[in-house]
Amino acid sequence: MGISWRAPGPPAHPQEEISCLPTPPPSSRKRWLGLALIATAQFVVIMDTSIIGVALPDIQADLGFTPE
């Protein structure tokens, strides 16, 4: 059983109807895969920020920069 939709006004052909079926939701596997991808990306961002925060003082000292 689908949802039928008809444009306003008389149809071009008396028996012409456009059937619009709702799209099925994505499968559970695709949702979990998307969640895993987003969680991994967030983990990489947090690790990158942490490593830069710890290593930045040593990098500045090695390059001869002084805080002003």
Question: What pLDDT digit, counting tens, does each position of 32-67 carry?
Answer: 999 999 999 999 999 999 999 999 989 999 999 877
Contact at 8 Å (CB) between 15 and 2?
no
Sequence-distant (≥ 6) Cβ neighbours of residue 6 within 8 angstroms? 17, 18
What residue segments make up the domains of the chain, in order of their start? 25-68
Give pLDDT, residue 2: 57
**pTM of the full structure:** 0.51
Percent of the chain, pLDDT > 90? 43
Give pLDDT, residue 38: 98
Distance between CA atoms of 18 and 5, rounded to whole angstroms? 6
pLDDT digits (tens, 9 = 90+) for 4-21: 665 566 555 555 555 677
